[in-house]
């Protein structure tokens, strides 16, 4: 899971993206305001903030650096561009792979012994 968090005026905005199942979620002040599945290289979420202004999130993967980038726009003006490096993505994938291996291994051993 990759998480981008940003404080925008009175709102705490968080975008969570799973690099395994494609689930993306946007939270404003802890409340989920957008959710979708995405298996492509980029996606977009459009929401309305508590002050009534539109807010857009662009999530993309830079093919040259393999960085995941989250761009946040408020009223069509770029507010910030947050980058997660290749190391963070690789670490997240390794953690999930290890979890899957260690949870399925006992079941396989049990099947082999019976």
| Residue 62 belongs to domain with CATH number | 2.40.128.180
Q: Which domain holds residue 22?
A: 2-113
Q: Please compute the mean of the pLDDT values over residues 19-37 and round it to a whole number.
A: 88
**What pLDDT, in 10s, does the model give residues 54-81?**
999 998 887 777 788 889 999 899 999 9
In this prediction, residue 52 has a pLDDT band, given cuts at 50, 70 and 90, of confident
Q: Which DSSP category does 20 fall into? A: T
Domains in the chain, number: 1
Collect all residues with Cβ–Cβ distance below 8 Å to 56 and sequence separation of at least 6.
44, 45, 46, 47, 72, 73, 76
Q: Is the pLDDT of residue 96 over 70?
A: no
Collect all residues with Cβ–Cβ distance below 8 Å to 73 and sequence separation of at least 6.
55, 56, 57, 58, 79
Give the three-class secondary structure for 92.
Answer: helix
Q: Is the pLDDT of residue 88 over 60?
A: no
Largest CA distance in the chain: 62
Q: What is the pLDDT of residue 36?
A: 92
Global confidence as pTM: 0.69
């Amino acid at each position: 899971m990759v998480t981008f968090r940003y404080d925008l005026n009175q709102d705490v905005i968080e975008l969570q993206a799973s690099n395994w199942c494609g689930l993306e979620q946007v939270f404003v002040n802890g409340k989920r305001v957008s959710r979708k599945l995405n298996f492509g290289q980029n996606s977009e979420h459009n929401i309305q903030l508590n002050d009534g202004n539109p807010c857009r999130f662009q999530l993309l993967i830079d093919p040259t650096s393999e960085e995941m980038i989250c761009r946040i726009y408020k009223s069509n003006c770029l507010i910030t561009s947050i980058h997660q490096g290749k190391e963070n993505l690789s670490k997240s994938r390794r953690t999930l792979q290890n979890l899957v291996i260690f949870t399925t291994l006992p079941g396989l051993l049990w099947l082999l012994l019976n």
